Amino acid sequence: MTPTPGTPPYDRIAVIGAGAWGTALASAARQAGRHVTQWGRDARIIDAIRTTARNPAYLPDIPLAPGIQATTNLATCLTGAQAVLLVTPSHSLREICAALSPHLPPGVPLILCAKGIERDTGLLLSDVVMAELSGHPTGALSGPTFAHEVARGFPTAVTIAFPFTTQDRLTPGATPAARLAVSLGSTALRPYITDDLVGVEVGGAVKNVVAIACGMMTGAGFAENTRAALITRGLGEMTALAAALGGRAGTIMGLSGVGDLTLTCSSQTSRNMSLGVQLGQGIARADCFDGRPVVAEGEVNAASVTTLAARADVPMPICQAVNAILHQQADLKATFTEMWNRPLRSEGASLGISLVNPGAAPGRDRSEPQS
């Protein structure tokens, strides 16, 4: 395929959020040659980013690309911005959108860099943004990314998703997705482009819940067979939900689906897997992470994903099990034993087989629909 010539980058990028991922993206954008402004609430962190090119709270040992203009003032951060990266937790997104509204330049594209589904409404995060900030093209950046590796400039690939109109397909180089790709692309960061925003968002939300499940089983003393099974069947749950909402299976087989799922479920660098490991070891939630208030998106997503799945009539037993343990006081080992002893079935829906599981407890109702 011949590269599309003349795609103009966004020269001025605003990053909303000064946690590890927001800072890593700000550094990557600056490394790619962009003028970068970054907003955060914590004045100590913001001062350090601006004056020392370090984030002492989240990436203390990693030098950032110099020249990031960090500020605690939203209006200052957004002045002249040509693209805005939203890097705040899913539970605070609606609040942030309301705060951004008076200061956004007209028509500037908004790129979601957090992953999740809004808990109270079951809305995809792009739906939240479009409801609060209409008139702005809205997309997402996702993929298998640990913030500290991106900040160090390790080779990383991501997916950038925006819906494409008919005109976008005729002039793809002028789309927000293409322009953002050339804005962030560098010798280290390789962006890919898709028009399947739904698939990318579903992948990002579900993978966090499956990572908690993998962590729980690891912490409970199980090993690689169990984790591989959870990853594979979790991928099936992710694919089914994406398809029910209009996403594509091919997207789930890409960076924002299987790529991100594999990474997040394979390392305790992931806060979601780490949380699961601690819970599987019997550590009370309040004592996890040594009592520090660490945000694991999958904890919120467990509830929002299962709510959305129920609304879409998609069985998701792994996500349902995690939700029951986190939010309904279900016993961890008993819940996973129950999940494992569901009726036996065919892999894939084409055969429609459901068999009594010899491992199921006597007297258990084995007739319910299964995924």
300 Cα distance to chain centroid: 12
CB 223 within 8 A of CB 175: no
Catalytic residue among 30, 34, 207, 342: 207
Q: Which helix (H) or strand (E) holds 59?
A: none
3-state helix, strand, coil in the chain (%, to 5): 50, 10, 40
Count the Cβ atoms, other than its own, within 10 Å of residue 162: 25
| Among 129, 331, 320, 154, residue whose Cα is nearest residue 237 | 320
Q: What Å distances lie between residue 206 and 28, 200, 304, CA to CA?
A: 26, 10, 10
| Residue found under tokens 């939700």 | 323
Length of the chain: 371
Which token pair is 25?
């993206």
Give the number of other CB atoms < 10 A from CB of residue 91: 18
Q: Can 115 be counted among the known catalytic residues?
A: no
d(CA 67, CA 30): 7
Q: What are the phi and psi torsion angles at 33 (to 5°)?
A: 100, 10
Strands 156-161 and 189-194: what pairing? parallel
Q: Using an 8 Å Cβ cutoff, are 216 and 276 in contact?
A: yes
CA distance 148 to 234: 26
* Local structure of 338: helix, strand or coil: helix
Q: How far apart are CA 49 and CA 68, in angstroms?
A: 7
CA–CA separation, 14 and 96 (whole Å): 14
Cα 42–chain centre separation: 23
DSSP-derived secondary structure letter, 171: S
Tokens of 261: 């799922």
* Residue numbers annotated as active site: 207
